[in-house]
Structure formats: structure tokens, C-alpha cells
Chains A and B, each alone.
Chain A
């Protein structure tokens, strides 16, 4: 463990002490020391990220995953032609890739926003 090592000698300057003691750092310490407050914050972030991922996964499951069932349930759909190409070929061979990319793009955007919100909470001055 790092705790029981003798701490190395450091030079203490007044400015550093002042900087360390800023109230904004209390939440940061909560995080680092796993206090109930810190743990609740991390759980909140995890829940937000997981909910986002699950929601977008659901979009893909309904958008792509329902296709085999659809083709079996309504064979007429599969015989529909767009520009002389049968719909299943167009959907699977071409359109599925931009669709996946769009879902991925939305995820990256929103996941980064969740993280920014989290960082903003930690860094928020308490007074």
C-alpha cells in the first residue's frame, strides 16, 4: 500500500496550501475517499451513462433486430423494390451502416455531455 510509505519531503509554499483548500475540492475529496456523497455521485453518473447506452441499444434492436421477424411476418415487404433493388438488400447491404454510425454519433455526443455535467458538479464552487 502507498499509505505506509514514508512520505517524501516536500516544500510547502503558502500558495499551494491555499489552492488545496479551495471549497470546490471538497467534492473531489468525497470522490477520492469514497464517502457516501462521492459514491452517490459516481452511481449517478453510471446510471446516466448506462441508461443512455441501453436506450440507444434499444433503438438498434428495434431498428435492425426486428427486420428478420418482419420479413417472415410480412413477406410482401421483402419483395418491395426501390430503384430496382429489393428492399432487404438495400436495408441490410447499404442503409444499416449509416444507421449504426448515426446511433454511435448520438451516443458519443450525449455520453460526453453526461461527463461534462458530472465534472461541472464536482468543480462547482460551494459558496
Chain B
């Protein structure tokens, strides 16, 4: 085992706690936590938002997908970044001006319907849980890769640590801590990337295609499969010479040569557009993204912060692609075992050798991965637990800290169990599903709620139930159901392309049919959402 990993992880945790304690000196009351960033520039605030947003799926998953599927999955990082542009164009400033702290709050402010509020809470919990699953998956995977222990123990360990942390209030959403996590994640990918490119140069710029083994390699099969037409059993070892082509393993879905290098392939157009729709429109509906917008002092600064987030997130996403491509050259054996999500963790040692440099960089990357799933899952769990606490346990009227802890544990149990069940799914795939549900439930609610006066509570409820419900069902079938084939698989596996338009359509039709239910104070609400704060009369 790499001797630098444990000290690296300890340093990350210590620095995080240290900055947290330092930040606590400035924030003593609850309101300090919410408005602390009034004294913080948009740049710090944006780094904090990015720090919370860039999850294990971005840090580990995107590179793994690129390694496996090639150019078609570049839409994941593009979409993850473009989601912030959609947020900026349609939601950021009015949402901040609404004063809503969570999505259920927004429902209350705009339409004043308790039923809609409850429905929104259900969706927040569902999306939050679904989004937590890949974080725990990433944790389990990192644990397995670094220590050689079992996946289940890794996911359980991190699940318990994060739950305990949030329940005990150990890691609060302090701007400085999250901002630090962003820069740590960026450094942890950028510094090794420089060395990797230099190594690639000095190796004489090996080609990406065709995919060959860079050195003599022994691969232990993890499943019964067919390799090059030969039956191979689990546990059997296969030896390959240097320069030998990487074989296609029947149990691992991956692409080779032109399929990997060039876009299109066999009928991926539906999947691509579905993914684009889900990621572009889903970001605004993620529970942990919205909470952070309240920390901007006004609507105009919410806009500027979002712009900086777009820049920071875009800067980060330049890197995973590079890891995926270089992984094709230096760690092609992952294509045979199917553990492609581990490419970021394994690449430094594979390319630079097991010397001090390779091990140090590997430790740095592992520390970045720890930061990735700690920050995102803590932020997510806090917001989900908050919603469970106020809207499910109904403890708002005098809820105690004990109730909040109960809510945290309740919110954590389901994702931890799910993460054990779906261990073989790609981390980024599961994240894509969470985006699809968010895009077909909260995106129409926010966009129509902000820009369309005639939205009614009945229309909103119908839209969320039908559009969001359909995508939710599709996700449950994908994750828990039997494998599907043919067009049905695409239809259910990438639901956003039909559930998002459906949700918009139902919401608009439902509102037009119930036109008398338009809230009487809609004019005042719209004034509050759109007029600059300097004109506030009160």
C-alpha cells in the first residue's frame, strides 16, 4: 500500500476541521451562518458553491466514463457546467430575491400551497438520496482501490462517518471550508496532470488508438466472461505482452477504436439529447445547489457568483477528460475488469511508476477524492435532513437537535443501502439519473414560477406528479429492475428527453385549466422576484 495516502488523508481532514474552527470564530449565530458571505466576495462564494458541486461523480466518474465510452460521454462534463448557465439565465437572481432557502420554501413563496410544499419535499428527499448513492459508491471504490478492502466496508464506513459528522454538526456549510475543498480538488487533479503530460511526452507520445498494453500485464478476471471468443472463469489470470491489443470482454460494456474516438456510434442520438436536457436543466433543481444561493447579498451578486461558478467548474472539467484519455494509454486493463471509475486514482502510479513521485501524486489524487465525496455528501445530507426535519417530522414548532439528528440518520439509511446494491453501475450514470428527475420536476416549477404569472398550484402539482413521477419511475426501474433491451432500454434508461417536455406541458395545461386559482398577490411576488433590491419600498 502507498505509504503517503494515510498522511495525505489525515492532512485533508485536519485542514478542513482547522478552517472550519477558524470560520466558526466569525459566525456565532444561526443568521451569521446564512449571511456570513455578505462580507465575502462573489469569488469566495463561487469557490464554495463549486466545492460543494464537484462530487465524486465529477472527480472520479467522468474520467472513468471517458476511458470507457470516449467522445460521446464528453456531454457529461459539458452538461454539468452548462447547468450553471441555465441556472444563471433563468433562475439565479429572481430566486435569490424570492428569499426562498429551499425548494419547498420557493413553492410556499410563489404559490402558497401546503400540498405543493409537501410534494416538493418528497422530491427533494428522493433526488438527494439518489445523488448521495454515487458519492458513497465513489467512496467504496476509493476504499477498495487504495486499501484493497471490500467495497461494502468502504461505502458503509464513509456513510457512517458523513452521517455522524452532519448529525453532530461537525462539518457545517461554512463558505471557507467549501472554497478550500474546491481548490484542493482542482490542485489534486491539475498537478498530477502536468506530470502525466510530461511523462507522455517523454514516452514518445504513444497513440490512444488502437488500445494496447503499455507493458506486460497480468489481469485477474473478476467475473465469468468471454474474452476474444474464449470462455474465462472468475479468478483466472490472463497474461498479455507489451504492445498486445486489449481484448473485448463480454461482461464489460466498452468501446474500441473508431467507436471510442468518433461521435455517433449506433443510435446514440436519443441518449445524447436526453443527457443534454437532463444536465442542462437539472442543476437548478438539485437540493444542495439552491441553499448556497441564499448566501449572496442580493440578486445582482447572485448572478455574478453564478458566472464565476461557471468559470471555476469549467476550468475543473478540462482535467477529467485528460485522465480518461491518458488512462486509455497507461491503464487499459481497467477496460477488462470494468473498474473504470478508479482510473483517476490509479493513473499516477501506472504512468509515473511506483517511485516517490508517483506515490506522492497518487496520495494527492486520493486526498482530492476524499474532499470530493466529503464535501458533496455532507452538503447533500444537510439539505435533505433539513427538509426531512421541517417537512416530514414536522418538528418545526420546537424541533430539537435530537430530531435533527434523527432526520439525518433517516436521510442517510436509504442511500447507504442503495449504494451497496448498485455497486456495478457507473458513478456518473447514477448522477445522470438524479439530474433527469430534477430536470423533470423542479426545472419546470422554477422556470414557470419565475417567468409566468398564470402558473397555479394545481398546474404545478400535476406537472411535478406526472413529469417528475414518470422520471422517478424510470429511474427506479433502471436501478432496481431487470435489464431492458432495445428501444425500451433507451426510453427508460435516458428518460429526460420525454419527461421534461411532458412536465412543462402538463404544468402549463393544468394552470390554464385552473386559471381562477392564480394567487391574488402574484403581482407583488413578481415585483419582488424581478425588481432590483435598491427599489424595495419597505
Which residues of A come within 8 Å of B, CB atoms?
28, 31-32, 34, 38-39, 42, 45-46, 49-50, 53, 56-57, 60, 64-65, 68-69, 71-72, 75, 78-79, 86, 88-89, 92-94, 96-98, 100-101, 103-105, 107-108, 111-112, 115, 118-119, 122
Given known pairs A42-B527, A104-B310, the reply for A53 and B300 (CB within 8 Å) is no
B264 touches A71 (CB 8 A): yes
| A interface, over-half SS | helix
B527 touches A31 (CB 8 A): yes
Cα distance A115–B93 when bound, in Å?
11
Find A60's partner among B82, B311, B534 (CB 8 Å cutoff): B82
B81 touches A100 (CB 8 A): yes
Given known pairs A34-B523, A97-B81, A104-B306, the reply for A86 and B532 (CB within 8 Å) is no
Of the listed stretches B29-37, B177-185, B315-323, chain A binds B315-323
Find A42's partner among B71, B74, B523 (CB 8 Å cutoff): B523
Query: For residue B74, which residues in chain A have a CB less than 8 angstroms away from its CB?
Result: 88-89, 92-93
Query: For residue B307, which residues in chain A have a CB less than 8 angstroms away from its CB?
Result: 101, 104-105, 108
A86 touches B89 (CB 8 A): no
* Residue of B263, B300, B306, B532 contacting most chain A CB atoms (<10 Å): B263
Number of A-B contacts (CB under 8 A): 121
Contact with A along B439-467 (1 / 0, CB 8 A): 00000000000010000000000000000
Q: Is B27 an interface residue (CB 8 A)?
A: no
Find A96's partner among B78, B93, B451, B524 (CB 8 Å cutoff): B78
Q: Is B23 an interface residue (CB 8 A)?
A: no
Given known pairs A32-B537, A71-B264, A92-B71, the reply for A56 and B318 (CB within 8 Å) is no
Q: Is B304 an interface residue (CB 8 A)?
A: yes
Smallest beta-carbon distance B137→chain A, Å: 24
Cα distance A68–B93 when bound, in Å?
31
Which 8 A-B residue pairings sit nearest by Cβ, starting from the closest?
A: A97-B314, A92-B74, A53-B89, A32-B537, A71-B263, A93-B321, A34-B523, A68-B272
Find B263's partner among A56, A78, A100 (CB 8 Å cutoff): A78
B82 touches A100 (CB 8 A): yes
Which residues of B come within 8 Å of A, CB atoms?
71, 74-75, 77-78, 81-82, 84-86, 88-90, 93, 261-264, 269, 272-273, 276, 300, 303-304, 306-307, 310-311, 314-315, 317-318, 321, 451, 523-524, 526-527, 530-532, 534-535, 537
Query: For residue A69, which residues in chain B have a CB less than 8 angstroms away from its CB?
Result: 269
Cα distance A96–B90 when bound, in Å?
20
B527 touches A78 (CB 8 A): no
A97 touches B530 (CB 8 A): no
Smallest beta-carbon distance B251→chain A, Å: 28
Given known pairs A28-B535, A78-B264, A107-B89, the reply for A94 and B318 (CB within 8 Å) is yes
Query: For residue B304, which residues in chain A have a CB less than 8 angstroms away from its CB?
Result: 108
Cα distance A79–B81 when bound, in Å?
26
Cα distance A100–B537 when bound, in Å?
36
Cα distance A28–B523 when bound, in Å?
15
B314 touches A78 (CB 8 A): no
Given known pairs A92-B78, A103-B85, A122-B535, the reply for A42 and B451 (CB within 8 Å) is no
Query: For residue A98, which residues in chain B have a CB less than 8 angstroms away from its CB?
Result: 314
A75 touches B264 (CB 8 A): yes
Cα distance A79–B300 when bound, in Å?
43
B82 touches A112 (CB 8 A): no
Query: For residue B263, which residues in chain A have a CB less than 8 angstroms away from its CB?
Result: 68, 71-72, 78, 88
Query: For residue B273, which residues in chain A have a CB less than 8 angstroms away from its CB?
Result: 65, 68
Query: For residue B86, which residues in chain A have a CB less than 8 angstroms away from its CB?
Result: 57
Query: For residue B315, which residues in chain A have a CB less than 8 angstroms away from its CB?
Result: 97
Cα distance A18–B306 when bound, in Å?
41
Smallest beta-carbon distance B93→chain A, Å: 7
B527 touches A119 (CB 8 A): no
> Which chain B residue has the least Cβ–Cβ distance from A53?
B89
15 cross-chain CB contacts under 8 A: A38-B527, A45-B531, A46-B526, A50-B451, A53-B89, A64-B78, A65-B276, A78-B262, A92-B71, A92-B75, A97-B315, A101-B307, A107-B89, A115-B532, A122-B535
Smallest beta-carbon distance B503→chain A, Å: 18
Apart from the given pairs A56-B89, A68-B273, A92-B75, 15 other A-B contacts in the complex at a CB distance below 8 Å: A31-B535, A46-B451, A49-B530, A57-B86, A68-B263, A78-B263, A89-B74, A94-B318, A96-B78, A104-B88, A104-B310, A115-B300, A118-B532, A119-B535, A122-B535
B82 touches A89 (CB 8 A): no
Query: For residue B310, which residues in chain A have a CB less than 8 angstroms away from its CB?
Result: 100-101, 104
Given known pairs A31-B535, A57-B86, A92-B71, the reply for A101 and B311 (CB within 8 Å) is yes
Cα distance A57–B537 when bound, in Å?
33
Smallest beta-carbon distance A118→chain B, Å: 7
> Which chain B residue has the least Cβ–Cβ distance from A45?
B530
Find B85's partner among A88, A104, A118, A119 (CB 8 Å cutoff): A104
Smallest beta-carbon distance A89→chain B, Å: 6
Cα distance A104–B304 when bound, in Å?
9
Find B524's partner among A34, A45, A112 (CB 8 Å cutoff): A34
Cα distance A108–B524 when bound, in Å?
24
A72 touches B264 (CB 8 A): yes
Smallest beta-carbon distance B151→chain A, Å: 30
Query: For residue A101, which residues in chain B have a CB less than 8 angstroms away from its CB?
Result: 307, 310-311, 314
Query: For residue A94, which residues in chain B have a CB less than 8 angstroms away from its CB?
Result: 318
Find A108's partner among B261, B303, B317, B530 (CB 8 Å cutoff): B303
Find B530's partner among A32, A46, A105, A107 (CB 8 Å cutoff): A46
Query: For residue B527, which residues in chain A have a CB less than 8 angstroms away from its CB?
Result: 31, 34, 38, 42
A68 touches B269 (CB 8 A): yes
Query: For residue A97, which residues in chain B have a CB less than 8 angstroms away from its CB?
Result: 78, 81, 314-315, 317-318
* Residue of A38, A53, A98 contacting most chain B CB atoms (<10 Å): A53
* Residue of B89, B303, B451, B537 contacting most chain A CB atoms (<10 Å): B89
